[in-house]
Amino acid sequence: MKGSDSMQPTIESIYKRYSPALRPTEQENSIGYWFIFRGNQLLVHETGDLLAVPVGDRLDKYGLISSRTLYLGSIEGASCYTAEVAEDSTVPEGMAFLPLFALYDRIDEDLFHVAGRGLQMLFWDATNQFCGRCGNPLNHADHERSKVCPNCGLSHYPRLSPAVITVILKGDQILLARAGHFPNNMYGLIAGFVEPGETLEDCVQRETMEEIGIKIKNIRYYDSQPWPFPHSLMIGFIAEYDSGEIQVDGEEIVEAKWFRADELPNIPPRVSIARKMIDWYVEEYKAR
């Protein structure tokens, strides 16, 4: 259940403009968006600081050959395709392959999210070619986004890995933690993947205890974010400190501290839900 109105973020649904589908309709414009990936890098038109997703009716107009192409749906009647090209593909003139992570706020927000969906679908398609039960090649289903084994009938759906991420508050302070792999001495929030048989709230409590050794209370849902690197769904919570002393696990977390809003260390970039949640804390507590 959501918390107070001040805790609720402003959410604009991608489905105001985007319609997911398995195949194009006759009404769709044949000229559409192409989300072309080389690894985790998206091909964009580059004119100074201006970036744009390629628009066209076919991939070969860019001199590129796709190893896999998937239809994603449409945005305001324009078809959306995602394609994967080889790592040694030549970059078309006036264009660049840039990390999708770095394109947040540099291309249209809905296009950014559809690009993320495309990257996730390409990863799923590439890593689900054969049935995990009998080993036969898989076929795309006609009626839903899945693959079906023609031999044993087992359905294979796009993989989603739910993970919780939590703002932990203690009075006017927020707990921030540093993982060993974080760059530039960056601090973030406690996070971890949901395990079989536990609720999201159970996961919040378990991850907090495992990583920093404290108990928390009053866990409230905040927001969620798809994170296609390669297939996570981040689910944000707000919680309050209950008891215990910080004791980092020394493996995932190497340091954790309480910070006030006016003394924050280096924190994650704005593309991440972690940053959005930390920004919420700053605004909430500066308004006190």
Q: Encode pLDDT of 83-126 as tens digits.
A: 999 999 999 999 999 999 999 989 999 999 999 999 999 999 99
Q: What's the CATH code of the domain at 25?
A: 3.90.79.10
Do 201 and 281 sit in the same domain of this protein?
Answer: yes
Q: Say which residues have a Cβ less than 8 Å from residue 190's Cβ, sequence separation at least 6.
A: 165, 166, 168, 175, 177, 207, 208, 211, 212, 253
Q: How confident is the model at residue 1 (pLDDT cuts 50, 70, 90)?
A: very low
Q: Report pLDDT for 6.
A: 56
The answer to whether residues 64 and 175 belong to one domain is no
Task: Tell me if 249 is assigned to some domain.
Answer: yes
Q: What is the pLDDT of residues 225-270, one digit of tens each?
A: 999 999 999 999 999 999 999 999 998 999 999 999 999 999 999 9
121 and 141 in a common domain:
no
Please write the tens of the pLDDT for every residue from 3-20.
445 565 656 788 999 999
Name 43's Cβ contacts closer than 8 Å, sequence gap at least 6.
Answer: 34, 36, 37, 54, 62, 64, 91, 92, 95, 96, 97
For 85-106, letters b (16+ CB in 10 Å) and e give beeebeebeebebbebbebeee
pLDDT of residue 278: 98
Say yes or no: 281 and 165 in one domain.
yes
Tell whether 148 and 208 lie within a shared domain.
no
Query: Residue 8: its pLDDT value, please?
Result: 58
CA distances to 69, 105, 205 from 52, rounded to whole Å, are 20, 12, 42
CA distances from 254 to 141, 154, 166, 222 (A): 45, 42, 17, 26
* Number of domains making up the chain: 3
Report yes or no on 7 lying in a domain. Answer: no
- pLDDT value at residue 9: 62
Q: Does 108 lie in the same domain as 45?
A: yes
Residue 26, pLDDT above cutoff 70: yes
Tens of pLDDT, residues 171-186: 999 999 999 899 889 9
**Average pLDDT of the residues of the chain:** 93
**Pair (185, 152) in one structural domain:** no
Report helix, strand and coil shares of the chain as percent, to nearest 5. Answer: 20, 40, 40
Strand 78-85 and strand 29-38: the pairing is parallel
Task: Give the pLDDT confidence score for residue 10 in this predicted structure.
Answer: 56
Q: Is residue 3 part of a domain?
A: no
- Rounded to 5 degrees, what are φ and ψ at 109? -60, -45
